[in-house]
Amino acid sequence: MTKPPMLTAQQALDHLLSHAKAVSKIERVPTQVALGRVLAEDVNSLVDVPPLDNTSMDGYAVRIADATTPGQMLKIVQRIPAGSVGVQIEPGTAARIFTGAPVPQGADAVVMQEDCTVLEDQIDQVQINITPSSGQWIRRKGEDLTAGKTALVAGIFLRPQELGVAASAGLTHLNVKRRLRVAAFFTGDELALPGEPLKPGGIYNSNRDTLLACLKSLGCDATDLGIVPDRLDATRQALRQASKDHDLIITSGGVSVGEEDHIKPAVTAEGRLDLWQIAIKPGKPLAFGAVRKSEKLEDGEAWFIGLPGNPVSSFVTFLLFVRPFILKLQGRDAIAPQSYLMRADFDWLKADRRNEFLRVKINSQGGLDLFPNQSSGVLTSASWGDGLIDCPPSQAIKAGDLVKYIPFSALLS
């Protein structure tokens, strides 16, 4: 049997991304339900935000020319709560004003109420106890968004704050890419679902919950096709079912080249497949290919990515390879996860020849601690940790070294 080619993580990623083309279908959805969608087109603001110069403090709107020395008395001639508009301010006068209210014409500063005195027997006068500077406590018209200018750019993943920006721009609806449809199934005769009794030699299917949740956090429509036994016919049948209504099929387990590993022959029979060895740890075997949607070529194919079965390996390979592939299919702009140079507060002297992804956690001194058991079967390492160190091949880590840290939060959005 020929051994699959050995690729670096970068080679595998480049290969995957060279195939992924963004879905073209666009849907128009209400802004409030656009969370987790990918914006399909740039959107322009319908309004200036804020719409007028307004005050960021409760206080008094004044002309600085009237308050050049502390202690100046000004006549209070108008009161402007948020939501109403005052009138031109005349020399020697001030406007009582409240946060969010438009600054009246002629005023060029706001003095916060803590810097003013109003005497009980002279309530129509305010004493300005400071010399205000021009523009103080004034939020300028359009300083956040300008009418007609881009408020949000195509390709961004819509988070809560983007929905808020769209709403402040006056947009009731957004044009987004249709959701990616991803089917997942899990191979292994040993697998059982939580709630079922475990037979001897059995283990619970943890990859189902990890991987489906990963898909959801990336904004995919995820279909669970359940556990598939280690048989060629069952695997082929699951692939045929999965390919129909999905853009991408992901599986866990069965991607090695042993007698009980049926992914390779099954995908090859239903489409095409490359089986790779990737020089990473955890991870290593990864399968990439496509499954025909029907016997008719013109019906197209669904992409296929087969992940290894070990729970940490399938999680890490999902984050490193499936996530960027999905982001590119979704039409997202930023694909590479944000990483940071951080200090290791541990020694890792048994450097591996492979590129290792170590589960670590940020400590209260701002350094990284290592989970003691880095086995690919120990999923609690990923739950304890809050990210991965991307450790280059054959590189030992000494306490104090700066290392490349990628938080899970950057890999799950």
| CB-based contact 140:109 (threshold 8 Å) | no
Spell out where 31-112 has E strands.
43-44, 54-55, 59-62, 72-80, 93-97, 109-112
The yes or no reply on residue 253 touching Mg ion (CB under 5 A) is yes
CB of 237 to ligand AMP, least distance (A): 18
* Residues in contact with ligand AMP, shown as a per-residue x/- string from 296 to 325 under the rule CB under 6 A: ------------xxxx--------------
Please tell me the distance from the alpha carbon of residue 315 to that of residue 379, in angstroms, as a whole number. 9
49, 158, 318 from 146: Cα distances, Å: 6, 20, 40
The yes or no reply on residue 207 touching ligand AMP (CB under 6 A) is yes
Look up residue 128 and give its two tokens.
């300005």
Is 58 or 190 the residue whose CB approaches ligand AMP more closely? 190
Choose among Mg ion, ligand AMP, none what residue 310 binds, the Cβ cut-off being 5 to 8 Å by kind: ligand AMP
* Residues in contact with Mg ion, shown as a per-residue x/- string from 180 to 209 under the rule CB under 5 A: --------x---------------------
Look up residue 371 and give its two tokens.
């989970």
The yes or no reply on residue 285 touching Mg ion (CB under 5 A) is no
Q: What is the largest CA-CA distance in the chain?
A: 99
The yes or no reply on residue 205 touching ligand AMP (CB under 6 A) is yes
Please tell me the distance from the alpha carbon of residue 236 to that of residue 384, in angstroms, as a whole number. 37
Please tell me the distance from the alpha carbon of residue 365 to that of residue 353, in angstroms, as a whole number. 30
Number of residues that bind ligand AMP (CB under 6 A): 17
Residue whose C-alpha is closest to residue 220's, from 309, 342, 287, 303: 303
The yes or no reply on residue 283 touching ligand AMP (CB under 6 A) is no
* Residues in contact with ligand AMP, shown as a per-residue x/- string from 149 to 188 under the rule CB under 6 A: -------------------------------------x-x
Choose among Mg ion, ligand AMP, none what residue 387 binds, the Cβ cut-off being 5 to 8 Å by kind: none
Choose among ligand AMP, Mg ion, none what residue 191 binds, the Cβ cut-off being 5 to 8 Å by kind: ligand AMP
Can you name the residues that pair with 192 across neighbouring β-strands? 204
Residue whose C-alpha is closest to residue 43's, from 139, 122, 153: 153
CB of 21 to Mg ion, least distance (A): 32
CB of 319 to Mg ion, least distance (A): 21
Determine the residue with CB nearest ligand AMP. Answer: 309
The yes or no reply on residue 203 touching ligand AMP (CB under 6 A) is yes
Can you name the residues that pair with 403 across neighbouring β-strands? 342
Determine the residue with CB nearest Mg ion. Answer: 253
Residue whose C-alpha is closest to residue 95's, from 111, 115, 83: 111
Q: Which helix (H) or strand (E) holds 177?
A: strand 173-177
Contact set with Mg ion (CB under 5 A): 188, 253-254, 309
Binding site for ligand AMP (CB under 6 A): 186, 188, 190-191, 203, 205-207, 252-256, 308-311
